[in-house]
Amino acid sequence: MKRLALFILLAALPAVAFGSQHYIVVTTHPFDEAVQRLPREDFDPAVRAAMRVRPFQVINGFDAELSDDQVKRMLASGEVEDIEPVVERHVMNDSITAGQQTTPWGISGVHAPDVWPVTRGAALNGSGPIHVAVIDTGVDYHSPELQAVYKGGHNFITGSDDPLDDFGHGTHVSGIIAAADDRQGVVGVAPAVDLFALKVLDQCGSGSSANVIHAIDWIVAKKQAIGGNWVANLSLGSDTPSTTEQTAFQNGIAAGIIFCAASGNSFDPTNPSDGLAFPAGYPGVMSVGAIDDTNTVADFSQRGTGLSVVAPGVAVLSTIVSASVSTDDGRVFSSVLPSITTSGGNTLCPTAPQVTSAAVFCGFGKTAADFPASVNGRIALISRGNSQGTGTLSTKAGSTQVTGTGTSFLNDIHAGDSLTVCGQGSLQVSLVSSNTALTLSSQTPATSTASSQNYAVGVTFVTKAKNAKAAGASAVIVYNHDVCGGVATSITPSLTVTSAADVPPFTFISEDDGLSLRNTPNAVLSLGFGLETWQLESGTSMATPHATAVTALAWAVAPNASPSDVQNAVINNATDLGTAGVDTVYGHGLVNALAAAKQLNPAAFGAPATPPPQTGRIPGRRGH
């Protein structure tokens, strides 16, 4: 049925360039036939190019940039079944914790090592590895942990076959699935699978339902081309469903693909029936929640009717790639790119700066006087804050935390923000715009709350950046934005500008790294993206690849099993947690690679078949 309510939505949705908007158009016939039945004026070659039409294969239809008039004409054509605006898809806002290089606890938690004596992801019948497609931000295929398993992919942001990760999320997910078993770094759940990267999310971790559908198209086509068994990982989503996207998943499932998707990180205890994110909430998709190392559900993990399983998703160590600052003497520091918002409310996605130059220290960057003439054409190294003091200042998720003693002036503080002293000492915090002072006593930690109006003044990051640009700096590094000694990557600072041209390339590093650069003023610095390391992260984004890789391991043990048999084995053989039986918090329980594999092929383990537990519900379907 044609969506008559669409025109009501048009007024509520943000306008885009040239009065057009990004839509998914569902047609009665396949694309090549449908275009013959659609308004000719809209499919003239020049017009079609401007519309950025991309046909789908897994469903009849295409996505395109359409004006209101084009939407009306297409709905009136008799060929169009439905038109819906694309829905945002994004990474699940995973929290990040500084950590050490240790053995990931989730590996043994899902009993992967118990299956490794039989297989680590290669099919027992000799047909080759199980194919795992990671639909995410791409992958760092240069990483020594992932080089051997990476077999290709596609970038739906640029339209190229280069899905190199420029955000880091997809690389972390990929490491959980298949990091090399090479006695270095970390090891994945199934280190012998073949890994394909489908980049549908940009350098800010955002994308659309249209690109997710195109990724499903890609997998179906690749499966037809090279064969094999395919499992897809989606550590992404939002709380907005899409009828068209759901149809694409159903068609992908019918084509023999198993989909595992994150249940979401936005559980609200005041509204526990809120349900799952999408695509995890679609029928037939294996939805995955997160637990910690005590087998307790994570506070953020979305739950509800239809949750399939849970998996390790708190403090999970895996591969990561990030922005970096390196020196010509061999040092490499992790850095963080800011989130940039224009005064009109549009969020921009800055790419990692590609700048090589000597750095010049420019104090707090408050005025032109802080910038020596020698900074022209070089990198400006600037300290956060706007006065000399002994405090370490930072902002994270509405909370500003302070270390040390003395008097410091904070910017970007808002009414209701929590101020915390980390460590011993007394520190007076002056909220600049109102001259209201809060004295925090010697406690660990001490807290107080701002009670006046918006205090967003002081020397903002934008002011520092504009001053640096006026002085001719080629880039800006701001240091000292970590929280109580935490790593720089635990924070995403924000800049609000009129346009991206207002500021030069901009990145942030920690206090210790900034001081290290100040102590070597003659070093030549290179700003870029590609620091390969390991990092602890938490989220259902981390839980999902555990379930994906367990599914791949189980399928490798029984490569002739049907996709539904494999998915049922993984779900029905999960280790029960919480309330006995299937529930809305843990689903069927914690995925168990050994139990699922033994159910599918007991002879491979020298054991008789074990009947799966009775659940009374069809796996992958929403209960009632």
- Average pLDDT in the 433-438 region? 36
Bond before 493 cis per omega within 30 degrees: no
User: Contact 249/259 with Cβ under 8 angstroms?
Assistant: yes
Contact 264, 275 (CB under 8 A): no
Q: Which fold has domain 321-532?
A: Glucose Oxidase; domain 1 (3.50.30)
**pLDDT for residue 455 is more than 50:** no
On the question of pLDDT at 513 being above 60, the answer is: yes
Crossing angle of the two packed helices 540-557 and 169-178, in degrees rounded to 10: 30
Residue with tokens 């400006």: 380
Q: Are 570 and 549 in contact (CB under 8 A)?
A: no
Q: What is the pLDDT of residues 309-341, one digit of tens each?
A: 999 999 999 999 988 899 999 998 888 887 777
Q: Which helix (H) or strand (E) holds 210?
A: helix 209-226
What is the rounded average pLDDT of the residues 420-440? 36
Mean pLDDT taken over the chain: 81
Has residue 486 got a pLDDT over 50? no
Whether the Cβ atoms of residue 256 and residue 130 lie closer than 8 Å to each other:
no
Task: Tokens for 447, please give them.
Answer: 């807290």
Name 526's bridge partners. 326, 356
Domain extents in the chain: 6-85, 90-313+539-605, 321-532
Question: Model confidence at 43, in pLDDT bands (50, 70, 90)?
Answer: confident
pLDDT at 139: 98
Q: What is the pLDDT of residue 20?
A: 81
- Give rounded-to-5 percent helix, strand, coil for the chain: 25, 30, 45
Does position 500 have pLDDT exceeding 60, yes or no?
A: yes
Q: By the 8 A CB rule, do 324 and 356 touch?
A: no
How many residues can be counted in the chain? Answer: 624
CB 127 within 8 A of CB 559: yes
Q: Please state, in angstroms and rounded to a whole number, the distance separating the CA atoms of residues 281 and 265.
A: 13
Name which of 53-62, 374-383, 505-514 the model is least confident about: 505-514
- What is the CA angle 334-168-17, rounded to 5? 110
- Residue 622 scores a pLDDT above 70: no
pLDDT of the residue at 512: 85
**For residue range 129-180, what is the model confidence (pLDDT) as tens digits?**
999 999 999 999 999 999 999 999 999 999 999 999 999 999 999 999 999 9
CATH of 90-313+539-605, one of 3.40.50.200, 2.40.30.10, 1.10.357.10, 3.30.70.3270: 3.40.50.200
CA 582 – CA 580 distance, rounded (Å): 7
Looking at mean pLDDT, say which of 138-142, 345-349, 398-402 comes out highest.
138-142
What kind and span of H or E run contains 226? helix 209-226
